[in-house]
Each structure stands twice: as structure tokens, then as C-alpha cells.
Amino acid sequence: MTARPEALPTQEMTINMGPQHPSTHGVLRVILTTDGEVVTRAVPDVGYLHLGLEKIAERLNYSQFMPFTDRLDYLAGMNCNCAWAWAVEKLAKIEAPERAEYLRVIVSELNRISSHLISFGSFTADMGAFTPFLYGIREREKVNDLFEMLCGQRLTYNYARIGGVSGDAPPGFLEKTREFLDYFEPKIDEYNNLISYNKIFVQRLANVAVISAEEAVAYGLTGPNLRGSGVAFDLRKDEPYSVYPKFDFNVCVGSGERGQLGDCFDRYMVRINEMRESVKILRQAVDQIPEGPVMAKVPRVFKPPVGEVYFRAENPRGENGYYLVSDGSANPYRAKIRAGSFVTMNIFEKVTRGLLIADIVAVIGSFDIILPEIDR
């Protein structure tokens, strides 16, 4: 007598996704417990990089640590450089020249665009669409050309300095930046026509891993992952720093455009729309940048006064915060880094429960994590 289907025994299976899985955006291991294709539990296992950046910061002086910030988020090195400089300047009560602040904003927004381009390209590749990645790389190379013109580097820049930047914009840099903006802005519509509203792509993302505004706040999400849930919080607006108050731009939030508010599609679209806003900021910054020096007078032997500060900046992957304690010596007594990707992984297990195995890759891509931020 054949057993009835509902009486057949089932058994959960444990599957390792990573740390060398091609769709995990770095050396991330996810331990999946599955019932067939359904994920009953997905536990991220981090720590494979062993960077130790916080302890390194305490062994170097404030200026020597600047190149290490490039490695914290190698897709947004300029943003990390500037955030470290702003944190140390807050600690030492140093004010950088206005032209240097404009240059910092220009490189930060260019880097936000290039970072979101990699997010756009790798995410769509994760979903099986290879061509958009080539489009993203094509435009990112033009940003890299601008950075190479400015500081000689294309990935790890070491451009910011405590008190300013390492060098002024060379002749033709601002003009070439304008040319890039004129070229790039129409490309965003091209991306949307190519993939964003593709029926298959939308169905893979809509209503998947929904995070409510209350959950996003409770779990400490920041950046596009927070705004994707409809929370209009952006440090450039809500805790303005540098010369950001001088610029007019919008905070992009999720809208439930193709599914439920706070799903994978909303998080994806926030990054697409943020590239438009970065273009808007850049046009204003390039037009308004004043003449003048790009470095303040900083003592050669730099020793901030005794004290402690916390400074946070709006990086492409969320809040990049530095907590610094000074004991009056040339090295930080204590350095603590708050990175957006690490905090984002707190909610990973909760939102992946009950999804299919294929959806796990979509969730990782929608979070736009980068592993050096997690294993810092």
C-alpha cells in the first residue's frame, strides 16, 4: 500500500552559502537551514577578513590612519577618507577651508554615484541579468578617471587630510566633472528602461524581505536600507555637516512602488534615485565652489586636546561613524568605527525566514553590504 503524501517524513537540511559563493558580495558565510526550497533559518557567520582596523587606528597617529579608511569600504574610499577627517577635526576643533569642503563634497558625491553603480550592476547580475553590470562599470570608469586626475588613484585614494585635502583640483577637473554629469544623468533613465521595470526583475524583488519603518529603526538600519522602508532620515539633511546645508536636494525614500513598502525593490530604487540627487548636488557644488586654500594650518606634530567625540557621515552604505577618545598624545587612545553594513546584518535572519533559497541572494543584494565594513 502506497503511503499518502502528507504522511511522508521530511527532514531539514543545513546548507553553507559561502564564504566563497559568487553572490555574497565578499567573504560572507550564511548557514541556511532549509525545508526543501524554503529557508527556515539563515544565520550570517562573519569574521573571515580579520581586518582589525580599530586596533590599528590606536597604534598609528591620526594622519597615518587615513589610508586605512580606504579599506573600510573600498567602493567608497573618498567618503571614508572625508568622514575620518571630519571626525578628527571635530576632536581637535580645526576648521578646513571652504574650498576644501567643497572638494570633499564633490568627491564624496562622485564616489556615492560610483558605489551605487557597482550596487546596481552586481545586484542585477545576482538576479541573472549580466548586461547592466557592464553599463555600471562603463560609467564608473569615468568617475575613476576623474579621481585619477585629482589624486592619481582609482580605488584607494588617501585624498582627504586633517585640515583639508591633499591637493587642489587640477586645471580642467571641474569642467570634466560637468561633462560627466551631462553624460551620466540620462543614463539613469536608460538603466530603468533596461532592467529596473523589467517584469522578471520586479517579480524577483517585489514583496520580498519587507522591513517596516518601525523594524528598520528598531534594528538600527541606516542609509538606503533605512530610507527604503520609508524613513526620510539622511545625515546630510538631518545632522548637516561640511557645506551640505548650501545645497538643494531631496531625500529619496521607498514608496511601495511595485510591491509592499520596504521590500527589496524599494531598497534598489532608493539607490537609483539617489544617483539623480548626487548629480543635483554636484552641479551646485561645481558651480558654487569658491577660490582659496585647500589646507588649514595644522601642527606638524599633531596632538588633539584630551576629549572624546562621535562624528557620523552619510556614506553610500549608511552611517559611517567614528568614536574617538584622545588622551592628548599623537595617537587615538580609543577608536571605534560604526559601519552601516555590520548593523544591517542584525535584521538578516529575521527577514529571510520563510523565503526561498533563491531569495536569499536577492536580500543580500538589496542590502548592498560590503564585507570590510562588517569585519572591520
Q: Are 134 and 122 in contact (CB under 8 A)?
A: no
Q: What's this model's pTM, rounded to 2 decimal places?
A: 0.94
Longest alpha-carbon distance in the chain:
90
CB atoms within 10 A of CB 337: 21
Task: Show the CA angle centred on residue 340, arms to residues 339 and 344, nearest 5°.
Answer: 125
Residue 53 CA: distances (Å) to CA of 73, 88, 354, 375: 12, 16, 36, 9
What pLDDT tens digit does each residue of the chain (376 aa) get? 455 556 677 788 999 988 877 667 888 899 999 998 999 999 999 888 888 999 999 999 999 999 999 999 999 999 999 999 999 999 999 999 999 999 999 999 999 999 999 999 999 998 999 999 999 999 999 999 999 999 999 999 999 999 999 999 999 999 999 999 999 999 999 999 999 999 999 999 999 999 999 999 999 999 999 999 999 999 999 999 999 999 999 999 999 899 999 999 999 999 999 999 999 999 999 999 999 999 999 998 899 999 999 999 999 999 999 999 999 999 999 999 999 999 999 999 999 999 999 999 999 999 999 999 998 8
Domains identified in the chain and CATH numbers: 49-338 (1.10.645.10)
| Residues pairing with 356 in the sheet | 38
- Buried/exposed 218-252: b ≥16 CB within 10 Å, e otherwise: ebbbbbbbbbbbbbebbbbeeeebbbbeebebebb
DSSP state of 115: H
**Amino acid symbol at 147:** F
